[in-house]
């Protein structure tokens, strides 16, 4: 039976993907160093999946331990989520980002090479496109990294291209995620990072409804968009998890390297997302308009046709369902 190693499997995207793989009866083993997740996530995944969670408290830079884990569990493919992901932090501390993201990935790839595992699914990001020249963005759009975080994703994509050039029996897919939001239908797991540094839009809206913040700061209402606020492609976390399952099946069948945009193809503004959350929760989310956030673009949304056609994947959940699941997660986890 095949076994998937999930690096960073206790983080936001990894934990949701793990529950889906379990639902599909896919065996997996998680490697995570708990640097951005709570220990209670293990029990939560166990509760959802009604299964023992096989995991190792291990840093991906610990190459020797990775080799042991791969051999012990007869790993056949890898989904690589483990990384640092804060854009602002990467600008302040670029070395840490290159160290964890790039060196960490090299350590994992070397462990794979030594053990003969050659199927690799990589968490890339829409951040690789920077300020887009056009929307919807397709995979041929030029890559214009605006910060060290995005640079690390491009460097890793390039390393993977070079590996495939050298060894044609690798099978790699790089999934360029747009903006995942929402939570598992149980409401048990959601976007729940350890540090308070997560300043993405949905977690910020949640801070307001939890009373941690008085208002949502809207970064600019003077963009050339219909309501003046920034437009993004929000995607339900379980749709994103499903994309991994489909991509795993794809790399199982075919050697090569492929890049896929994983988004809904629909642009939603800051005020539209806020309104949708208010409708679902019945609560008012006060706002304050402030100046544009540095490095933000007006609009960024995907053309997901390649993933639709090749992976046979498309997003199923709408904005209301994304907000409903986030709201359920807030209610089940407010203390
Ligand atoms: P996350 O921080 O919630 O999860 C990452 C997990 O990796 C955490 O559990 C953390 O403890 C673990 N980890 C970090 N460094 C590690 C190390 N050196 N060794 C072992 N484990 C380590 O992040 P996420 O939102 O789940 O993102 C997963 C991946 O997707 C990342 O590569 C991220 O860059 C990428 N991505 C995320 C988004 C997003 O909006 N969340 C968008 C685009 C791309
Ligand atoms: C950000 C990162 C991106 C990364 C992604 C996932 C930047 C510039 N980009 O994307 O590289 O892949 O997170 O981690 O940081 N907004 C507000 N008020 C807030 C928070 C956000 O108005 O308090 C607005 C933003 O200006 C933007 C939209 O909401 O228009 C979405 O922001 P966010 O959730 O941070 O995602 P991105 O900026 O798209």
Closest ligand 2 atom to residue 202 Cα is 34
Respond yes or no: is residue 129 known to be catalytic.
Answer: no
Q: Is 41 in the pocket of ligand 1 (CB under 6 A)?
A: no
At 5 the three-state DSSP class reads: strand
Q: What is the pLDDT of residue 335?
A: 61
The answer for residues whose C-beta is within 8 angstroms of residue 319's C-beta and 6 or more apart is 234, 268, 272, 273, 276
Q: pLDDT, tens digit, for every residue of 117-166?
A: 999 999 999 999 999 999 999 999 999 999 999 999 999 999 999 999 99
Q: Is 230 in the pocket of ligand 1 (CB under 6 A)?
A: no
Closest ligand 2 atom to residue 231 Cα is 30
Mutate to test the pocket of ligand 1, among 5, 7, 8 (most ligand atoms within 8 A of CB): 8
Q: What is the pLDDT of residue 1?
A: 84
Alpha-carbon span 287 to 301, nearest angstrom: 24
Examine the pLDDT at 169 and tell me if it is beyond 90: yes
Second CATH level (architecture) for the domain 3-181+234-264+300-315: 3-Layer(aba) Sandwich (3.40)
Q: pLDDT, tens digit, for every residue of 48-103?
A: 999 999 999 999 999 999 999 999 999 999 999 999 999 999 999 999 999 999 99
- 163 is written with which tokens? 């590996």
Q: In what order do the strands lie in the sheet with 27-32?
A: 55-57, 27-32, 3-7, 77-80, 119-125, 171-177, 256-262
Query: 188 CA to middle of ligand 1, Å?
Result: 19
Percent of the chain with pLDDT over 90: 94
* Residue 76 region by backbone torsions, left for phi larger than 0, else alpha for psi between -120 and 50, else beta: alpha
Mutate to test the pocket of ligand 1, among 62, 82, 88 (most ligand atoms within 8 A of CB): 82
For residue 300, the ligand closest to its alpha carbon is: 2
Cis peptide leading into 136, omega within 30 of 0?
yes
Average per-residue pLDDT for the chain: 96
At 191 the three-state DSSP class reads: coil
Asked if 77 and 146 count as a contact pair (C-beta separation under 8 A), the reply is no
Alpha-carbon span 159 to 138, nearest angstrom: 21
- 287 is written with which tokens? 């706002």
Closest ligand 2 atom to residue 293 Cα is 26
According to DSSP, residue 19 is labeled: H
| Among 12, 97, 129, 149, the one annotated catalytic | 149
Q: Is 292 in the pocket of ligand 2 (CB under 6 A)?
A: no
DSSP assignment string, 240-288: HHHHHHHHHHHHHH--EEEEEEES-S--EEHHHHHHHHHHHH-----EE
Q: pLDDT, tens digit, for every residue of 171-218?
A: 999 999 999 999 999 999 999 877 666 689 999 999 999 899 999 999
Enumerate the domain spans of the chain.
3-181+234-264+300-315
Q: What is the pLDDT of residue 198?
A: 64
Query: 297 CA to middle of ligand 2, Å?
Result: 9
Q: pLDDT, tens digit, for every residue of 281-321?
A: 999 999 999 999 988 999 999 999 999 999 999 999 999 99
């Amino acid at each position: 039976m095949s076994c998937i190693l999930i690096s960073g499997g206790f983080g936001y995207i990894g934990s949701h993907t793990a529950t889906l793989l379990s639902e599909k009866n896919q065996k997996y083993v998680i490697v995570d160093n708990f640097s951005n997740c709570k220990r209670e996530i293990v029990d939560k995944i166990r509760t959802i999946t009604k299964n023992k969670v096989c995991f190792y408290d291990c840093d991906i830079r610990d190459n020797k331990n990775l080799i042991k884990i791969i051999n012990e569990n007869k790993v056949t493919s890898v989904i690589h989520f483990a990384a640092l992901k804060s854009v602002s932090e990467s600008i302040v501390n670029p070395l840490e980002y290159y160290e964890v993201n790039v060196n960490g990935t090299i350590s994992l790839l070397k462990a794979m090479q030594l053990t003969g595992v050659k199927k690799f699914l990589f968490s890339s990001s829409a951040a690789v496109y920077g300020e887009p020249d056009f929307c919807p963005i397709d995979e041929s759009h030029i890559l214009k990294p605006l910060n060290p975080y995005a640079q690390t994703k491009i460097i890793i994509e390039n390393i993977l291209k070079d590996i495939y050039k050298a060894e044609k029996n690798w099978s790699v897919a790089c999934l360029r995620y747009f903006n995942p939001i929402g939570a598992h239908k149980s409401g048990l797991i959601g976007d729940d990072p350890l540090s308070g540094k997560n300043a993405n839009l949905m977690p910020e809206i949640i801070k307001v409804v939890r009373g941690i913040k008085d208002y949502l700061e809207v970064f600019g209402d003077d963009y050339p968009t219909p309501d003046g606020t920034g437009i993004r492609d929000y995607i339900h976390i379980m749709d994103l998890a499903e994309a991994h399952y489909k991509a795993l099946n794809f790399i199982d069948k075919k050697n090569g390297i492929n890049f896929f945009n994983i988004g809904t193809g629909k642009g939603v503004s800051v005020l539209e997302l806020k309104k949708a959350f208010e409708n679902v929760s019945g609560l008012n989310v006060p706002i304050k308009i402030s100046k544009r956030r540095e490095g933000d673009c007006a609009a960024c949304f995907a053309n997901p046709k390649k993933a639709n056609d090749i992976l046979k994947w498309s997003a199923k959940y709408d904005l209301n369902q994304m907000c409903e699941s986030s709201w359920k997660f807030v209610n089940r986890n407010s203390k």
